[in-house]
Structure 1
Amino acid sequence: MRTLQMTFDDDLVIELDQVVQESHTNRSAFTREALRMAIALYYQRKLIEKHRAGYLRHPVAPDEFSVWEDEQAWGDE
């Protein structure tokens, strides 16, 4: 592991200390997990944007899925 020096606002440090105390962890472990989650969310948002851009370039045709309407079983029959 590497050591990084970071600067935080005082109010954020107060909140961080409350959370780590309640969750029985420490600042470093909590921050590592928070960064992992933030990075995962970043890549998820990029993928969503990529999909959105693809559908904007190639929109769904009005009849694209209608060929499956006769095959759908909704369980209410």
Structure 2
Amino acid sequence: MRTIQMTLDDNLVKAVDRVSKELHTSRSAFTRKALQDALARYKNEQLELKHRRGYEQNPVADDEFSVWEDEQAWGDE
């Protein structure tokens, strides 16, 4: 691991310290988890954007999925 220095607002540090204490963890561990979650959320947003752009460039054809309709077994027949 690596030690870094960050500048944070006093209120943010107090809130992190309060929640870290409630969770029985350290400020560093809490911050690591928050940053990991933020990076994962960013990656997911980028994948969704890529997916959306792909469908904008190549929209679904009206009959694209109809070939599977006869294959579906819903158990209601």
Fold conserved (TM > 0.5)?
yes
Count of matched residue pairs? 77
Query: What are structure 2's unaligned runs of at least 5 residues?
Result: none
Identity of aligned residues (%): 65
Residue of structure 2 in register with 1:9 after alignment: 9
Higher relative contact order, structure no. (Cα contacts within 8 Å, ≥ 6 residues apart): 2
The superposition leaves residues 32-74 of structure 1 with CA deviations (integer Å, 9 ceiling, x where unpaired) of: 1111111111111111111110000000001111111111111
Runs of at least 5 residues in structure 1 that lack an aligned partner in the other structure: none
Q: TM-score, normalised by structure 1?
A: 0.91
CA RMSD of the aligned region, Å? 1.0
| TM-score (normalizing by structure 2) | 0.91
What secondary structure does 1:12 align onto? helix
Taking the aligned partners of 2:11 and 2:61, their CA distance within structure 1 comes to 51
Runs of 4+ more than 2 Å apart: none
